[in-house]
A and B are shown apart, each in its own frame.
Chain A
Amino acid sequence: MPTQNFKGQKIWQRRTGRESLGHWIMWLIGVAIFAYCWQQISAVTTWFFVWDAPRIADDIWTRATPPRWGYITQLGEPIWDTLNMASLGTILSLILAVPVAFLAARNTTPSLLFIRPVALLIIVSTRSINSLIWALLLIAIIGPGVFAGVIAIAIRSIGFCAKLLYEAIEEIDQTQVEAITATGASRWQVMAYGIVPQILPAFAGIAVFRWDINIRESTVLGLVGAGGIGLQLSSSLNVLAWPQVSLILLVILAAVVISEWVSAKVRGAII
């Protein structure tokens, strides 16, 4: 226990002298890095705009309220497109993620040395790139539209779904698998009767969870031209139609809240 002598009395200290010195140096380095970063940011900032910000914010607020409620009639189709992008993207990504997950899980992969790293690479690379970037890329390749959005959502979700799924596969109860194997089942029968029933609840949970995230992401995919309600948002922003922007933001907020509620309900029912 680190103590300090104070007028002949031992006083408890949380850290030894060396530890607190280390802490102090770490804090110093941290603060220095932060100060440097802040300096870099402030060097490229036009401070006049920042001081003017309250007035601008007030101006935008007065322009944006009240929302143009009548515009909602034109939002039906974009919302349907957004829902489609999220749902079809999720379905597609699940179809792609299941084999990847089985190849990546330690206990089901055919080869630990060659195939597992490839599967892990697929998981990491699809996960680390945002769906907006995937959409940007796919629009350049297959042209703008909902289809590019579906594919972008699908690719982006592979990594997430496959990662959660392979962790679920690695955590299964091995005794059940052994029991099925002991009956003389083939490799595929073991898969179907020993492994799949154990991961099915996890699979359903992951699907709904990712669908919820995808609804969120697909609302903004239109900003780069992939269809859905984001397209309406970006065209309204381009013509500075703030009342329309505020209505679209409210619709997006409602969609996000509803999808989160649905996903929480369904996951609550499964688990």
Chain B
Amino acid sequence: MSEVEALIGKPWRKPPFIKRPWLRWTFILGFIVYLIAAYITIDVNWYRVYEGLERGKKFVLAFTNPDFTTRSSDIYEGMAESIIMTIAASVVGIAISIPIALGAARNIAPLPVYLICRSVIAVSRALQEIIVAILLVAIFGFGPLAGFLTLSFATIGFLSKLLAEDIESMDKVQAEAIKASGAKWTQWINYGVQPQVMPRLIGLSIYRIDINFRESAILGLVGAGGIGATLNTAFDRYEYDTAAAILLIIIVIVMALEYLSGVIRARVQ
């Protein structure tokens, strides 16, 4: 009662987001101290930034007048290579990640297999695409093969993890019914497990194709094939109109893929 009595007569105040006062103040103080420290250590050459604004304006204006024609053959080749890498890597990545996902689902796989598959996933997720690409370019030489391997490797970590989680949360009753009918292991997977996770698998695969395409656009920066090399050259030559054209193509393709994935996901679910 005393708590209520203490509140009577006082105007209402918004409850704070973090309830414990000491934690709240530590957060706020630490945040301010960090901001000051960060601001001091970043030395921004404002004169250079001011000078650059002119070029920035040129670049923004280039978007209103993109140049698709001057380097059309370079753009076409780079784009084709990016798309080819995306498709091939998605197919191989998905094909490899399905058995790994089965192995990484605790309700299907025995413990040793589970641990091996989970560690494969962890390694693939911890390494970023671009770093893997650098190493693979050093090993396999320049070209789309390195990019293809990079994207396949990255796909495994992403898809296996999410698919394994879906398998773990599937409906046990259906799987057991199939088992009770005397199905072999492969039949059990095919008729008991696969139909349950198929919508999610399709959705994730399409999402991953989308990601792979976006990533394939940067792999060219380290020599792993794709449109990135063309884009890099365009920036180096200050050909903003060509760069704008490439960026616009990337945006349009990503938007188209996103729209497509929305339609397909709506259909399978």
Contact = CB atoms under 8 A, between A and B. Distances in A.
Interface of A: 14, 30, 33-34, 37-38, 40-42, 44-46, 49-50, 53, 56-57, 60, 80-81, 84, 87-88, 124-125, 127-130, 132-133, 136-137, 140-143, 145-147, 150, 193, 197, 200, 204, 216-217, 219-220, 223-224, 237, 249, 252-253, 256-257
B231 A133 contact: yes
Interface string B240-263: 000100010011001100100000
A34 B126 contact: no
Nearest to B246: A133
Contact of B139 (A14, A60, A128, A217): A60
Contact of A124 (B52, B141, B254): B254
A141 B52 contact: yes
B251 A140 contact: no
A216 B127 CA distance: 9
A34 B91 contact: yes
Given A41-B144, A49-B141, A133 B217 contact: yes
Given A46-B141, A136-B231, A88 B251 contact: no
15 contacts: A34-B91, A41-B145, A44-B225, A45-B141, A53-B140, A88-B38, A124-B258, A128-B250, A129-B247, A133-B231, A136-B231, A142-B53, A143-B52, A146-B42, A253-B126
B34 interface: yes
Interface in B13-58: 14, 17, 34, 38, 41-45, 48-49, 52-53, 55-56
A37 B88 CA distance: 6
Contacts of B52: 141-143
Contacts of A256: 126, 128
Given A50-B141, A141-B52, A128 B128 contact: no
A147 B42 contact: yes
A41 B84 contact: yes
Given A60-B138, A141-B56, A220-B130, A133 B218 contact: yes
B84 A143 contact: no
Contacts of B251: 124-125, 128-129
Contacts of A128: 214, 250-251, 254-255
B131 A137 contact: no
* Interface bracket on B: 35 or more
Contacts of B130: 132, 220, 223
Contacts of B17: 200, 204
B87 interface: yes
A128 B81 CA distance: 18
Most buried by B among A56, A130, A249: A130
A224 to B, nearest CB: 7
A153 to B, nearest CB: 13
The binding surface of chain B is classed by DSSP as helix
Interface in B170-225: 191, 214-215, 217-218, 221-222, 225
Interface string B79-101: 01100110110010000000000
B107 interface: no
Given A133-B247, A220-B128, A145 B91 contact: no
Which of B34, B44, B225 has the most chain A CB atoms closer than 10 A to its own CB? B44
A217 B128 CA distance: 8
Interface in B104-155: 126-128, 130-131, 134-135, 138-141, 143-145, 148
Given A44-B143, A128-B250, A224-B221, A219 B88 contact: no
A188 B30 CA distance: 30
Nearest to A131: B218
B235 interface: yes
List the 3 closest A-B pairs by CB distance, nearest first. Answer: A128-B254, A49-B141, A142-B52
B59 interface: yes
B38 A132 contact: no
B76 interface: no
A181 to B, nearest CB: 17
A143 B49 contact: yes
Contacts of B143: 44-46
B128 to A, nearest CB: 6
Contact of A147 (B44, B85, B91): B44
A50 B140 contact: yes
A84 B44 CA distance: 13
A134 B7 CA distance: 53
